[in-house]
Amino acid sequence: MRRRGPGDGYTHILIYSLSLLAGAALLVAPAPAHAQDELMTRYPYEDRADLDLAAIFEPKWDVMVPMRDGVRLHTEIYIPRGQTEPLPIMLERTPYYANPQEQDYSIRLDWYEEFFDEGYIFVLQDLRGRYQSEGDFVTLRPNRLPEDVDGTDESTDFYDTIEWLVNNVPGNNGRVGTWGISYGGFLATRAMVDPHPALAAVSPQASCADMFIGDDFHHNGAFRFSYAYEAAVRFEMPPEDWPPEGPWDKYRRYLEMGPLSRVTEVLNGKSRMWNDYVAHPNMDEYWETEMCGVFPYLQGMTVPALHVTGWWDAEDFYGPIEVYKQLEADDDDNENFLVLGPWRHGGWSFEEVGRQVLEFDLESETARYFRDEIHAPWFAYWLKDKGSLPAAEAITFQTGSNEWKQYDSWPAEGMVPRNVYLRADGVVSFDPPPASDGDDTAYDEYVSDPDNPVPFQYRPIHYDRWHFWQAEDQRFVDGRPDVLTWESEPLEEGLAITGDIVAHLYASTSGGGADWIVKLIDVYPDDHPNPALRGYQYMVAGEVFRARFRNSFRVPEPVVPNEVTSYAISLRDRDHRFLAGHRIMVQVQSTWFPIIDRNPQTWVPNIFEAVEGDFAKATKRVYRSGEHPTHVTVLVNPGG
């Protein structure tokens, strides 16, 4: 069976929206009728003619399940034919329509194929206020306050649904599992808050966790402009109110839109989410608890969990890893697991095979491996007492070597910190610069112009190249005067790095504000056997940091012009092997457009309110002296 995924030739609207499956912004109210018609006919759960669901399941049981406040949620129940023993229930609660084409068997069942042979009762449910369910829908509904004993939230709806299912669905064994991707991953984390006793296994996949630090809408306080704008407009405004799209090249389109304040004027209050962006430019309770924030609710969770994300998840790479790490504090029984694979957002399920990414042959069918060897066996263990758990708590696909690795914990133990220093003449070295005796003339500089920002991928930028932009060849910025590059000699032997990569940047700017983007790159040799990879600059890791938040994400501060300032920027977790003959490269720049909005580079209290006159060129300096030794710290894996 071919698995259909977002990006298989849909209109650009659906490519960007359905493929994102982005938590916070995508579903604020049910789509208008005409949009639902298009959704149901072009939804990425089709072309499954070789899968005869009528031969697998009894006729569906379509019910309205009551919640504690009387609201009823539309629920579809599928019981396998020929059931001879009690079976566990696999529950998916979704804002994306339990049955997108309103047919006898939901095409969402496509995503459960790896579970069919084992035998499960499958339950699909629309969230409150979505499609055929009653009540009001709230995007990423916050958890009720502890004193609100009569209130409802996603966790209480999970509890009430499970209570009804185990008491009313015939032939169930009293155990329930749930999983979901993106918004579904967020819901899975909520299922673990005050969980029902029958909830035996949960898999939050590509779940958002913090929309200000590392997920959909900001990275380290820097606003993810094109992504957040598309979400706010296309799912909160009827099509007749959408502003004109403008040029096909998204770089040019977003540049012509001007400052964020002009966007606010154009939207004219019609997008609640955009209004929230403007009203909450800094970290506050809105981002911590209302807009997907899950960390306040994670303490004491005890349900076995399998966290999943992909190295090239352009939406929610940060969330799954951080949720896993926080749950580890209470994981006395070793029931908390993590899988990091070579995939885009949801690619472990959306992709049929998962072997090819751009020019890279991964040398194995990584998506099938996950579904058949990890996903299905993991749930069978907890829901059916069958088989065994994975041999290790953290399973990662090491890029570069194209090998699956297993670790007893994450961060993996036994890694050795090693610094990669920026040196003169565009060189990186493991040797630190010599003592400078206070001489700060050792630096490289560039002029950053917000009117000519560095694109985040090669132009023209358009929707169908979104998924793997982080794996694209970085040579498209070669020669730009506003991108600094340092490169090593070819490595004599391989170097494996496992864990968090941290850039220690010493830099200055002539203005009162700045963004810093740091990339760690694997440069392939010019004689690589694959011609498409000769000289390829693969971005192992890259991240942005908004300088106004260097001391606090809650209280921004202007940068002191021309003063050397230190920044510690996490480039996030990776497992990668630089092969012998490859080079290590570091790049630094100050714009990454339009995935990141343009920083005015002058001080304004709220960048969303900046006007044209606030934007100015600024001279940036990156220091590489003994006193200010800019370097990237990697964790070397002695075991390779």
Domain ranges of the chain: 12-212+292-407, 416-636
Which pLDDT value is given to residue 437?
Answer: 59
Positions in the chain short of pLDDT 50: 1-49
pTM over 0.75: yes
Query: Which one-letter DSSP state was computed for residue 254?
Result: H
What superfamily would CATH give domain 416-636? Galactose-binding domain-like (2.60.120.260)
Token match 């004599």: residue?
492
Superfamily for 12-212+292-407? Alpha/Beta hydrolase fold, catalytic domain (3.40.50.1820)
Distances (CA, A) of 555 to 135, 414, 606: 38, 37, 11
Cα(252)–Cα(256) distance, integer angstroms? 6
Please tell me the predicted confidence (pLDDT) of residue 299.
79
Six token digits for residue 403: 């090998």
Q: What are the Cα distances from residue 625, in Å, to 186, 579, 628?
A: 45, 29, 5
Pairwise CA distance, residues 67 & 160, whole Å = 6
- pLDDT for 494-515, tens place per residue? 999 999 999 999 999 999 999 9
The residue written with tokens 């938040």 in the block is: 549
CA distance 12 to 365: 28
**Taken in order 141, 142, 143, 144, is the CA torsion positive or negative?**
negative
Output the pLDDT for position 618.
98
Phi, psi of 483 (to 5 degrees): -130, 120
Q: Please measure the distance between the N-terminal and C-terminal CA atoms of the chain and give it in whole angstroms.
A: 36
| pLDDT for 11 | 26
DSSP 533: G
Q: Which residue type is seen at 25?
A: A
CA distances from 388 to 378, 384, 572 (A): 8, 11, 31
